[in-house]
Amino acid sequence: MSEIKKNEISGKVRDAGVVGAGGAGFPTHVKLSAQAEIVIVNAAECEPLLKTDQQLAARYPELLIKGLTLTMESTGAQKGIIALKAKYKDAIAALEPYIRNKDNIGISIMPDIYPAGDEVITIWLTTGRRVPPGGIPLNIGVVVNNVQTLINVAKAVDGIPVTTRTLTVTGAVKNPITVTVPIGTSIRDVLKLAGGGSVDLSYINGGPMMGALITDLSVPVTKTTGGLIALPNNHMLIQRKRMTVDNILRIAKTVCEQCSFCTELCPRHMIGHELSPHRLIRAVNYKNIGDPLLVTSALTCSECGVCEAYACPVGISPLRVNIALKAELRAKGIKYQGELGKEDPMAKHRLIPSARLMDRLRLRPWYKEAPLSLDIYEPDEVVLKLQQHIGAPAVPAVKVGDLVSVGQLIGEIPEGALGAKVHASIEGTVTQITPQAITIRNGGAAK
């Protein structure tokens, strides 16, 4: 692969505004500019109820393999691994013909456990390599991208920017469905596509384990919106996500038994990271900051939620305590400096079977098919956030009153900054620009 071709791929991906669709939205062109040995397609989709990636892999195998191949070419990787679960039979059957004659690409079947889709755990399960605490996959020669990201990479090279997002809308809605909507569509409009919800429901943006409670249905879908889950207001997950940090800290102080189950089941701890949630709870409860490294290990928490939702027998949330600690540490500019320790020899036996997690979270009644719809919804208005990614917000490249067409650049990466471009997702008129977002109203668009 010549340097010119490599730059060409990452340049087109940059122009198309591709960001990591499965996580915090790291700009993909930066990953593609690095050198790696292995590229992993993270198709684990381990959050209970979500069914987007497995259906996209089954429906668009050619695009997925194209995105993977381009990423391998761009990074110089010699090996591609598609990491998924045996139960995604349609995806496996669809992908197999495309990799049959490729020596350098294979499927890796992962156990049906949570959190198989946490990229650190995906890498460990598929290659045996361990990302150091506070490190990134590139530190051990690996690039991980999820299914939707790689499909967007394949389209980017053909000059098609990211203007839509596919997501599962499920739970206590009338018709659970996996839909594709223009980025910027309101959550309220997306819920209507699934038959709507009722007043006694609450909504989670993302999966039940890692998703956040939605407090305003007018917020728009972004490039990283993971899914929408409707649950009754009195469901345990909703109640838990509503708890304030003060409440959580009070409970931690009064009832933590220091049983250490949270640490024994912490996936990061199992693979040799120092992170030990029971010790962090103790440090917070007793203001024991004697070992500063211990407290900074909160920065290495993946926020998978195992300690909170599964491990703790008395309802404490080490996860939320860690989130609070992280915010404090980041505000002070503190980084974690610890080393990778030994892997727990029992680690693979301690990971949580998905079925057991679903029962523990009382999600069985909401486990439904959410078939992929091929229609693309057309909203009257979209609100495109200027920051849907890690890095600096995009700078508006249009003004109020401009007519825009689908795919037109409306937000540019600031000079010299890490960021991602933003494109119009519907045809129409720019009606508002704020420091946070650009609003486009359907109608009277430029050709």
Cβ proximity to ligand SF4, 235 vs 278, nearer residue: 278
Size of interface with ligand SF4, in residues (CB under 6 A): 28
Nearest C-alpha neighbor of 81 from the set 52, 42, 45, 32: 42
Tokens at residue 28, please? 């993909």
Applying CB under 6 A, which part among 126-134, 157-165, 266-274, 359-367 lies near ligand SF4? 266-274
Binding to ligand SF4 (CB under 6 A) within 317-346 occurs at: 318-319, 322
Is 86 near ligand SF4 (CB under 6 A)?
A: no
Binding residue (CB under 6 A) for ligand SF4 from 281, 382, 413, 430: 281
| Distance in Å, CB of 188 to ligand SF4, minimum | 30
- In the beta sheet, which residues pair with residue 396? 411
Is 82 near ligand SF4 (CB under 6 A)?
A: no
Nearest C-alpha neighbor of 342 from the set 134, 123, 118, 130: 130
77 vs 352: CA distance, rounded Å = 31
Cβ proximity to ligand SF4, 209 vs 426, nearer residue: 209
Tokens at residue 273, please? 């990271």
Is 259 near ligand SF4 (CB under 6 A)?
A: yes
Nearest C-alpha neighbor of 411 from the set 174, 163, 236: 163
Asked if residue 372 lies in contact with residue 56, where contact means CB atoms within 8 angstroms, the answer is yes
Cβ proximity to ligand SF4, 193 vs 280, nearer residue: 280
Q: In one letter, which amino acid is 211?
A: G
110 vs 358: CA distance, rounded Å = 18
3-state secondary structure of 40: strand
Cβ proximity to ligand SF4, 42 vs 302, nearer residue: 302
Is 208 near ligand SF4 (CB under 6 A)?
A: no
Is 135 near ligand SF4 (CB under 6 A)?
A: no
Cβ proximity to ligand SF4, 255 vs 289, nearer residue: 255
3-state secondary structure of 139: helix
147 vs 166: CA distance, rounded Å = 11
Interacting residues toward ligand SF4 by CB under 6 A: 256-262, 266-268, 275, 277-278, 281, 301-307, 311-312, 314, 316, 318-319, 322
